[in-house]
Chains A and B, each alone.
Chain A
């Protein structure tokens, strides 16, 4: 079983749709993250959850709404997205907040296309 699993791997949605991305980690970690990776841009941190509490919201528009019901699961709810939101959304986990080892374990990502 892979450490961090994301579903769906690919998603195409219209601007008026509502969809959710799911992430599950099997590593026993306490921190989970959402990153956005667009072409020719560095990875952008979106949200951080540490022990199920949101500790960072990196000025993300409200059309992205995270949810962390427990330390193993993380969701990203999407609604009324824009075409410029098309990107690869990567979930990651780490032992605790990343101050210590700097090692994040990423999922394979959900590639989102907004039409």
Chain B
């Protein structure tokens, strides 16, 4: 089983739609969780951290379920500019060193 698994995608949605991405991680020693965004032919950038209590940033809501080892990202009122690949990232501590493990990403395409 891969350490970080995401929905295969691609997700093709109309503008204004609500879309949800799921991610599971296999290592229960994982400590921190993040969503990164990567635009086509660009570098990944941090979108938001994911906190145990869930957190919201504008139209974006991230949730974590440690018991199920599951992370989600909800995007409301999708915009054309949300089109990108969304990477689920898990920080797993190995001794005193953290390792950021990336999922393959889920591609989102928002259409007019």
Task: Tell me, yes or no, whether A binds B.
Answer: yes
Known contacts A40-B104, A42-B104, A42-B105; is-contact A107 B97 (Cβ 8 Å)? no
State which of A14-22, A59-67, A77-85, A98-106 sits at the interface with chain B: A98-106
Chain B binding surface SS class: strand
The A contact surface, by secondary structure, is loop
B5: shortest Cβ distance to chain A, in Å?
Answer: 10
Complex CA–CA separation, A40 to B33 (angstroms): 22
Separation in Å of the A106 CB from the closest CB of chain B?
4
Q: Is B49 an interface residue (CB 8 A)?
A: yes
B: number of interface residues (CB 8 Å): 25
Interface string of A63-97 (1 = CB under 8 A from B): 00000000000000000000000000010000001
What total count of A-B pairs have CB within 8 Å? 55
Q: Contacts of A48 on B, CB cut-off 8 Å?
A: 97
Q: What's the Cα separation between A11 and B21 when bound, in Å?
A: 35
A108 and B43 contacting across the interface, CB-CB below 8 Å: yes
B102 touches A43 (CB 8 A): yes
Binary interface encoding of chain B residues 73-112 relative to chain A, with 1 for a CB under 8 A from any of its CBs, else 0 = 0000000000000010101010011111111110000000
The answer for the CA separation of A107 and B43 in the assembled complex, in Å, is 6
Q: With A99-B98, A103-B46, A108-B42 in contact, is A43–B34 under 8 Å at CB?
A: no
Q: Is the CB of A102 within 8 A of B42?
A: no
Contact among A40, A103, A109 with B43 in the assembled complex (CB-CB below 8 Å): A109
5 more contacts with CB within 8 A, not counting A43-B44, A102-B46, are: A42-B103, A56-B97, A98-B91, A100-B98, A107-B43
Residues in B lying within 8 Å of A, measured CB to CB: 4, 31-34, 42-46, 49, 87, 89, 91, 93, 96-105
